[in-house]
Structure formats: structure tokens, C-alpha cells
Amino acid sequence: MAVTKNIKPVKKAVVKKAVVKKAVVKKAVVKKAVAKKAVAKKAVAKKAVVKKAVAKNAVVKKAVAKKAVPKKAAVKKIAVKKAAVPVKSPKPVITKKVTKPAANADAINNVKVRMYCLGTGDCFILKFCNGETVVFTMMIDCGSCQGGPAEFEPYITHLADYVNSSIDLLVVTHEHNDHVNGFSKCENIFKDFKIGEAWFAWTENPEDPTGAAGELLKKRSQMKLALNNAINAMSANSVALQESGSDDFYAKSSLKNNQAFLKGMQTLADINLPVADGEEEAGNAGNSLPGMAKIKKILQDKKTVVQYLSPGQTVTAAKANGVKFHVLGPPMDRDHMFKDGKEGTDVYKKKLSLNESSLAAAAFLNMNKETITDLPFGLQFTIKDKDETDSNAINVQEKYKKDDAAWRKIDNDWLNSAGSLALRLNSHINNTSLALAIEFYGKKVLLFPGDAEYGSWESWHEIEKWKSKEPNGKHFAEDLLNRTVFYKVGHHLSYNGTALQKGIMMMESEEFAAMATLDRKRISLGWKSTMPNTLLLQEIIKRSKGKFFIMNEAEIDGGPSKTLNPLSLKNKAYTTEAKPDGSGPYYIQYTCAVD
């Protein structure tokens, strides 16, 4: 094991060198490789990769310049070439020394990951730098659980200033308010942004050729409507309970529980439903979130190039030489979209293995309708309003409606199914997160999984294209996780945002560091009980040796700063800037060496 591990970076270094030296060198290398072909076929395969990357870069550059060269054609060509090269063969022994990339002006050697502290929710700026010179700027998401435009503005103004209102690449991971609502709350600031390119998950593509995205969107919209109906009914019930002032001992505890339940529902509604935003009219519950709609509109107006990415794709970006963006998720098949992990081995805590609550959803959708179409039994078995002659029928109804038995009525208990529905919707949308592994020179990896849950994590390891792609027989996804030096913790440190054996346990880099967008002072109430998951928190602290930065450590027992004072990190690896009004920092920034 140890041997394979040691060899890999060496090889990558060779590749990297090749990239730096560019096209001229490339040819030479390839020739050399051909000469050696008989001895080390493997090396040839590697060269092909080099070629692909370089070629692609060239194409992209051209595309930027002329916008004429069809990208797909170029990629195809490479694919053919690659296929022609046999892959399986013993490993070559490489004795060359590792050399650092030449100090070119645009050779990226560090990434400044800046987390804006808007409250629980994601908003990241990544600056890919050579020393202090910025080569490439990337933005990932913009949202928070709490706060209106006024609260958002200082941060977003600061952000705009920081990037000079210009970003090369915008990534929007998924449609949850804590990831997108900044785009609508500070719409005007973003309108003035220069945005080079924007990436979304394939699930956001309205013209997805398979039709799968459309189907998902439709289902999502139905679920949202159902949920909205259920929440309205529950709130009405809560009010009624409060007003009834029943003399039953349990009325109070019922009311309390009802309110606790509503609180949980509200949290999920805040994240998932547009109506809760207060900016939209009621009745639009099935629509997409205002933040998502706004940013798509802005991009459309700007005629920004938008890409919808699918797992297994590897994308490059202009200017970011030597950097590959590997798309891990969202999964393409619905099995993974709805899959749960086993507690202990897969995730820290099992989530509901509840299957589609379609029947309940149908009932919620039917709630305000005159005629009900989906009875579980034939109509002849129901008691009709006219059944006044049937004494049995009357007796049963009277028994149920009797005043002194009101405490035993079950009119509203079934609404609690909305809880499962909401969780399901929530986790489904989390699993549509665009999960990216950003790889530098075939070596170090920054992992941004959005809020992907277990089903998505598992699917990464099953991407067909990447099977035994690595010389050591590992699946490429596993290899990426092994090399991860920076991890944006999924779903604000909750138990379901990070896979266990197929996730955190594979992140074994010595340089591993992590960031979590959790602020228990600014969070939806219902999340307080799930974030952070103590076991996960401790595992990340252990693996990162304390290089773990949480938006706000308040109310977190045994936070990472107890293990390591971030200010003690050398070379200004950790920086932060306090807001003048004393309400905490604008941002927390960590600089990752990637060379």
C-alpha cells in the first residue's frame, strides 16, 4: 500500500510539469513515451491524459477568443484517442525527482477559500492565486437561513468589493434558500456583476434531453404544493387549539407539541418553499425559489454561458490552468436520489427510510377540493351525508363527534405525515446538489459537495467511467477523497450531510482542513437539534488536527479552536475581518497550498 501511495504523487508531478511547459514540451514527452512504450504502457495512458487536458485548455481559450470552435468535437476526438490506448499494464518505475511547477505568472499555487459569515448557509469566494496574484475567481452559492436584504447587504457589498464585481465562474449547488436567497435579497448588486461562466447541476436543466430533470422538477413542485397545504392546515389547527382552551390535561402538552412540530415544519418550509420568504405571493408554493429564479434571470440577461453538469464529467475553466473540476453529483438515477444510508457504517445517524409519501401527498393536494378522487375503498363503503336512515352510520358519527369525547378526535394527527414529506423533499433537494472535486495538477483536491446526502455520496463511488481509473485499483472517487486537502462540510455539520465510510473516513490527507457553514446564533430553529452532530464534529477535528473552521463556534461544545488556535497558523493561512458594528466577522478565510 505504502509503495503505491508514494509513487502516485511523483507521477502527477511529471504530468504537472508537462502542463506548465505547454504544448511544445507535450510533444516531446509524448515522443519519449512512445519510445518507452514497450516497457511502460501505463505511462502512455498518462500522457494521453496530459494531452487531453492541454488540448482542452487550448480549445477553451480559443472558444473564449472566437466563440466559434465547437467544444464537443474536440472532446470527442480526445475520447477516441484515449480509448485507443491500452490501459492495463504493470506500473512503471519512475525515478524522476519531483519538481515544483515553474513560477509562471499564472501558475496557481494557492487557493484562498473565503466563507462569508451570513449566518447558517453557504456563500463562498475562491481565489485561485499565484502567490498573491489572483488568477481565477470562483463563487459558490449565496444564502443564509436568516436575515433580510438589510442584513445581507453589508456582506454582499463587501464581497462585491473583494472580487471587484467580477467573477470568472459562478456555481450554484442546489435550490435551497440557505444557498440561493442572497441572489434575490441583493439582486441589484449581482446585476452589476461580470460573470464569466455559470455551472448548475443537470437537475436544473429545463431542457435536459433525458427528461429526467423535468420530471424531478415537476415532482418537486407537487411536493411543495402538498407541503404548503399541510403547513397551512397545521397552523390553522394550532390556532384553533390555542383558542379552544380545553379543560383536558393533555390539551396543553398537545398544544406544545403541536407548536414544536410546526417549528420543525417552518424550518423545512423556510429552506424549501418560496412563500416563506415573504417576498412572493401565496399560492406560488410550487414554483422555484426566488433566489434561484433571480440568478437564472440575471445570467440569462447577461447572456452568460451556462453549463449543466452531470456526474463523471470533468470540466476545465479558462484561466485556471492545471485545474480540473470533477463532477461527483447529483446522481443520475432516482434510486440514489432517494437512498438512505445505514447508521454506523454509512452515516452517523440513520435518516428515515420512508418511501415516497405519495399517498399522503395526494391527500394534501386534495385538501381544498370539493370531490375526493383517491379513496382507498369503493364509494359504497363510505357513509354519505344522506345516509340518515341507517342508524348504525349515524351512531358511529355521533360517537366520534360527541363533545365529551372531543379529546379523542384524530382530525389533525394525520397532518404529521407532512413531516415525513417535508424531510423527504428536503433530502431530495439536498441530493440534487452539484458536488465538485477541484483537482490541482492531478494532486490536491478541494471538495465542495453542496449539501449532498448519503445517496449522492454513495453514487460517486459507482460512477462507471471512473471505475478502476486509478493505477492502484481504486475508484477515482475514492482516490479524490483520499487526496482531499480541503472539505466544505456538507449540510452545516448535520449527521446526514457527510457519508461515513464512503466519505469522511476516506479523507486521509495529512494536510486535510475543513470549513463548516454553521452558526447556531443564526439558524432555523428546527435545525438546532441536528447541527452539529457531535460524532462528526469530533471526527473532522481529529482528521484536520484542528484545522477546522466553523462560521461561529458559539454553543458548540468542544469546538475545533480548543484543539488549535487558528490564529497560530503560519503564513496567514487563516484570516478574518471583523464587521465595524461588532456583529462578528465578515468572513473567515483559509488559504490552501495547492502546488
Partner 1 sequence: MIKKPPFRKLRGYAFDPSLSLRMDTANINDIVYRIPWEELTPGPSGEYVEVIDYDPTVNKFYLPVNLDEPFALVQDGLDPSEGDPRFHQQMVYAASMLTIKNFEKALGRKILWACQRVLDERYELYVPKIRIYPHAMREPNAYYSPVKKALLFGYFSAAPVDETLSMPDSLVFTCLSHDIIAHETTHAILDGIHSNYNEATNVDMLAFHEAFSDIIALFQHFTFPQVLEHQIAKTRGDLTTQNLLGQLAQQFGTAIGNYGSLRDAIGKADPETGVWKLNQPSASDYKRVTEPHARGSILVAAVFEAFTSIYKSRIGDLMRIASGGTGILQQGALPPDLVKRLASEAAKAAGHVLNMCIRALDYCPPVDLNFGDYLRAIITADVDLISDDNRDYRLAFIDAFRRRGIYPEGIKTLSIDSLKFPLLNIGYLADKEGNISQSNSSVTVKQNDPEEYIIGKDTRQLLAIINGFLRDYGDAIKYVSDREEIFNITRDYIGGKKETDTSAEILGLHQRIKMKFLNSPDFDKVTGLVFTKDADDLGIRKSKRYGGPAFQIINLRLVSRVGPEGNQINEVIFSIVQKSGVVYKDGKFDSFYTPEPSFDIKEPDKELNPPPPGGFEFKGGCTLIFDLDTQKLKYAISKPLIDLDKLEVSDKKDKLDINMKRVDAQYKIQHGTDDMHFNEFALYFGDGANKIAEPFAFLHQH
Taking CB under 8 A as the criterion, which residues in 486-545 touch partner 1? 495-496, 526, 529-530, 533-535
Among 265, 327, 485, 592, binds partner 1 (CB under 8 A): 265
- Whose Cβ is closer to partner 1: residue 49's or residue 268's? 268
The least CB distance from residue 151 to partner 1, in Å, is: 25
Q: To 5 degrees, how large is the angle CA 172–CA 173–CA 175? A: 90
- Work out how close the CB of 253 gets to partner 1 at its nearest, in angstroms, rounded to a whole number: 4
Torsions phi, psi of 209, nearest 5? -60, -30
d(CA 80, CA 336): 30
Cell, residue 91: 506500473
Does residue 209 belong to the site contacting partner 1 (CB under 8 A)? no
**What is the footprint of partner 1 within residues 332-371 (CB under 8 A)?**
342-344, 349-360, 363, 366
Instruction: Pick between residue 103 and residue 359 the one whose CB is nearest to partner 1.
Output: 359
- Measured CA distances, 335 to 214, 300, 348, 450, 509 (Å): 17, 32, 21, 19, 31
Three-state helix/strand/coil letters over 450-517 = CCCCHHHHHHHCCCHHHCCCCCCCCCHHHHHHHCEEEEECHHHHCCCCCCCCCCHHHCCCCCCEEEEE
The region that residue 258 occupies, defined by phi over 0 for left and psi between -120 and 50 for alpha, beta otherwise, is alpha
Minimum CB separation from partner 1 for residue 350, in Å? 7
Nearer to partner 1, 131 or 344 (CB): 344
Q: What is the CA radius of gyration of the chain?
A: 27
Rank residues 192 and 411 by Cβ distance to partner 1 and give the closer one.
411
| Rounded Cα–Cα distance for residues 104 and 60 (Å) | 20
Restricting to residues 372-411, name those near partner 1 by CB under 8 A.
Answer: 372, 374-378, 381-383, 390, 392-393, 395-397, 399-400, 407-411
Nearer CB in complex with partner 1: 10/250 = 250
CB of 341 to partner 1, least distance (A): 11
What is the separation of C-alpha 42 from the centre of its chain, rounded to a whole number of angstroms? Answer: 35
The CB-of-369 to partner 1 minimum distance in angstroms stands at 11
DSSP character string of 97-165: PP-PPP--TT---EEEEEEE-SSSS-EEEEEEEETTEEEEEEEEEE--SS--HHHHHHHHHHHHHHTTT
* 439 contacts 108 by C-beta, under 8 angstroms: no
Nearest approach, Cβ of residue 354 and partner 1 (Å): 6
Nearest alpha carbon to residue 491 among 554, 444, 590, 423: 423
CB of 316 to partner 1, least distance (A): 38
Exactly one of 32, 239, 250, 333 binds partner 1 (CB under 8 A); which one?
A: 250
Is 249 a binder of partner 1 (CB under 8 A)? Answer: yes
- Considering only residues 437 through 496, tell me which ones interact with partner 1, judged by CB under 8 A: 495-496
Interface residue with partner 1, options 192, 215, 248, 508 (CB under 8 A)? 248
Distance (Å, whole) CA 504 – CA 536 = 9
Q: How far apart are CA 433 and CA 456, in angstroms?
A: 8
Written as one letter, the residue type at 297 is K
* Residue 384 Cβ vs partner 1, minimum distance, rounded to whole Å: 9
User: Residue 389: CB partners within 8 Å, gap ≥ 6?
Assistant: none
Please identify, using beta-carbon distances, which residue of 300 and 382 lies nearer to partner 1.
382
Cβ proximity to partner 1, 65 vs 240, nearer residue: 240
Residue 554 sits in the site that holds partner 1 (CB under 8 A) = no
554/559 Cα distance (integer angstroms): 9
Nearer to partner 1, 206 or 376 (CB): 376
Residue list 267-286, contact with partner 1 (CB under 8 A): 267-268
Tell me the closest approach of the beta carbon of residue 203 to partner 1, in angstroms.
21
One residue of 245, 278, 580, 582 binding partner 1 per CB under 8 A:
245
CB of 146 to partner 1, least distance (A): 17
Strand partners, 24: none
